[in-house]
Amino acid sequence: MSKQIDIEDLNIYYGDFLAVEGISMHIEPRSVTAFIGPSGCGKSTVLRTLNRMHEVIPGAYTQGKVLMDGQDIYAPGVDPVNVRREVGMVFQRANPFPTMSIKENVLAGVRLNNRRLSKSDADDLAERALRGANLWNEVKDRLNLPGSGLSGGQQQRLCIARAIAVQPEVLLMDEPCSALDPISTLAIEDLINELKDEYTVVIVTHNMQQAARVSNRTAFFNIAGTGKPGKLIEFNDTNQIFSNPDKEETQNYVSGRFG
Amino acid sequence: MATTAPEKTPPASQPKAVVRVGDAVFSTATLAAGILILLILAGVALFLLFQSWPVLKAQATDPESITGGGFFAYVWPLIIGTLVSAFIALLVATPFSLGIALFTTHMAPRKLAPVLGYTIDLLAAIPSVVYGLWGLMLASHLVPIYAWLATYFGWIPIFAPTEDGGISQTGRTMLTASLVLAIMILPIITSLIREVFLQTPRLQEEAALALGATRWEMIRMAVLPFGTSGIASAIMLGLGRALGETMAVAMILSSGLLTASLVQAGNQTIASEIAQNFPEAAGLRLSELISIGLVLFIITLIVNMAARAIVAKTSVKGS
């Protein structure tokens, strides 16, 4: 489980506005890829095209191709619902379903896939997903309590458990630690390290140390100015991006000499 | 803490707290408004109690002098009529309201949704007299349907014809009145539910969609659970409106004795009973009408308290 992703000449529009222009990149399976760049550069937008979530915004559309193991997810006839079942997503703020228990939260996606789970299967699956998200030991005694009772970091790991419970091919993370304290952040980063053995992970982050810590490859996005489209400036091994980038723009950004 | 905080010595004479004129005026005004509400409520309750007193006294001394031969014998059928009509109205209006609210917030094309929203709000602006006129016209068209119901479902008491097989030939029945009531309370329920649905956190909707939920599954996972308490309170407010609605029922319903059948003439609601009899009432009869007004007041009070209780119980915590 885990697919490679090829983005070919991707343009992303919001109505008439060209938000992101000319993205092409190849993402290896079983790796962590970080998207970095200033606010508004389109990195989250690109991430959201990988599971067709940007279409939720009215008027948004794309040109170009996004291939998962060679299959274009934007080909006519492809149902975005099926794409999203293969590509899990974790959001900036933890969003467990408030009316569901911890266990039901984990199983929410599985239940959607119309599988009728026996009780023991459900228990096993919930345990496996929660262990996979390093949360099992903390919640095993209160699986039937609401997920909203957990701490912020635990809630975020619950959301990761929910995402991996459906055994996706790819896991997208949109600034998953931006609302968390350093200790919870560390827990999530450790988790990302483990997740890459099984999944293709793509993470958007504002925190460059985080990108350096967790990712194998890093993509730097930038924007020429307000109203201009965001572009992929450089996509390289993470070590190289942070030590010896090809482009001066990248060097300026990662060293803090911005603009 | 090793650092020493700047020492706070209470000044020898407390300086007077600054009072800003604007704040003082504003807080007095809001306090007055709050007290006024309580006074009005208490005033209404006292008026009803005081004016109903002769009936309660007559009940104790000479029950035969009360219409129907006793206060409870008189008010009982009216309570049933009121509750039944309001209940049927809710039963019909709620699914439609939910559907319309979901459609306008989550399903409709973006250009159509606001138009539909305005149309629903316009329904609320139609005076109830007009609904009454329209209901009268509607009534005669419903007769064939009632006849059909009585023929095939007459074994169910609510659709039973009279002993000689007849039903209301004017269609001015409890069912017609309830259906018109349903249309009258539809807009208020719909627009309240719509407001609730519009406030569904985007993050929750996206959480469901990102798991691969279809639109309906997203609504079931994120929108409906979030809106439960709002839906409950919207329904309760609709119920309150249906209980107290007077004009349309008074015009449509060919009132009479309590009967289980909804397709015959008969039954009556409290509000309609008051409106129809008030102009000619005097003396004890007037007190009777006021006393059933008191009963209606208590019923709506209970409904509202129940609504509060339900909202408090079902409101979503967290998020």
In tens, the pLDDT along A186-199 reads 888 998 998 889 89
- Given a contact cutoff of 8 angstroms between Cβ atoms, the answer to whether B242 and B89 are in contact is yes
Distance from CA of B183 to the nearest CA of A (A): 32
| Reported ipTM exceeds the 0.90 cut | no
Inspect the interface and report whether the beta carbons of B201 and A93 lie closer than 8 Å: no
Chosen from B199, B203, B211 to mutate, greatest number of chain A CBs within 10 A: B211
Name the least confident of A19-33, A78-92, B42-56, B57-71.
B57-71
Q: Per residue in B201-233, pLDDT tens? A: 889 999 999 998 988 899 988 999 888 888 988
Domain boundaries along the sequence of chain B: 25-314
B109 CB-near residues (< 8 Å, 6+ apart) = none
pLDDT over 70 (residue A1): no
Closest CA to A183 of A156, A158, A164, A147: A156
Determine contact: B23 vs chain A, CB below 8 A.
Answer: no
Q: Per residue in A151-168, pLDDT tens? A: 888 999 999 999 989 888
The token pair that represents A60 in the structure block:
């948004």
User: Using CB atoms and an 8 Å cut-off, which of residues 185-224 of chain B contact chain A?
Assistant: 201, 203-214, 217, 221-222
Greater confidence (A45 vs B255) lies with A45
Cα-Cα-Cα-Cα dihedral sign, residues A62, A95, A5, A41:
positive
Using pLDDT thresholds of 50, 70 and 90, give the confidence band for residue A106. very high
Domain boundaries along the sequence of chain A: 5-254
Strand order in the sheet with A5-14: A71-72, A60-68, A5-14, A17-27, A230-237, A217-223, A32-36, A200-204, A170-174, A87-90
Residues of B in Cβ contact (< 8 Å) with A57: none
pLDDT over 70 (residue B87): yes
Share of chain B above pLDDT 90, in %: 25
CB atoms within 10 A of CB B17: 5
Closest CA to A6 of A66, A83, A82, A50: A66
This prediction has a pTM of 0.79
| Surface-to-core class of residue B205, CB atoms within 10 Å of its CB (0-12 exposed, 13-18 middle, 19+ buried) | buried
Determine contact: A67 vs chain B, CB below 8 A.
Answer: no
Determine contact: B229 vs chain A, CB below 8 A.
Answer: no
Distance from CA of B301 to the nearest CA of A (A): 30
Distance in angstroms (rounded) separating the CA atoms of residues B206 and B186: 30
In DSSP terms, A217 is beta-bridged to A33, A237
Determine contact: A183 vs chain B, CB below 8 A.
Answer: no
> Smallest Cβ distance to A112: which of B212, B228, B317?
B212
Distance from CA of A211 to the nearest CA of B (A): 23
Q: What is the pLDDT of residue B284?
A: 85
Q: Per residue in B258-306, pLDDT tens? A: 777 777 777 888 888 888 888 888 888 888 899 999 999 999 989 888 8
Q: What is the pLDDT of residue B1?
A: 44
Mean pLDDT of B117-145: 86
Residues of B in Cβ contact (< 8 Å) with A95: 201, 203-204, 206-207, 319
Q: What is the pLDDT of residue A6?
A: 93
Inspect the interface and report whether the beta carbons of A98 and B317 lie closer than 8 Å: yes
Distance in angstroms (rounded) separating the CA atoms of residues B235 and B160: 29
Please report which helix (H) or strand (E) contains residue B319, including its range.
Answer: none
Greater confidence (B247 vs B213) lies with B213
Residues of A in Cβ contact (< 8 Å) with B206: 53, 56, 91, 95
Q: What is the pLDDT of residue A235?
A: 94
Please, what is the average pLDDT of chain B?
85
Using pLDDT thresholds of 50, 70 and 90, give the confidence band for residue A258. low
Q: B25-314 in CATH: which number?
A: 1.10.3720.10
Inspect the interface and report whether the beta carbons of B214 and A81 lie closer than 8 Å: yes
Q: A5-254 in CATH: which number?
A: 3.40.50.300
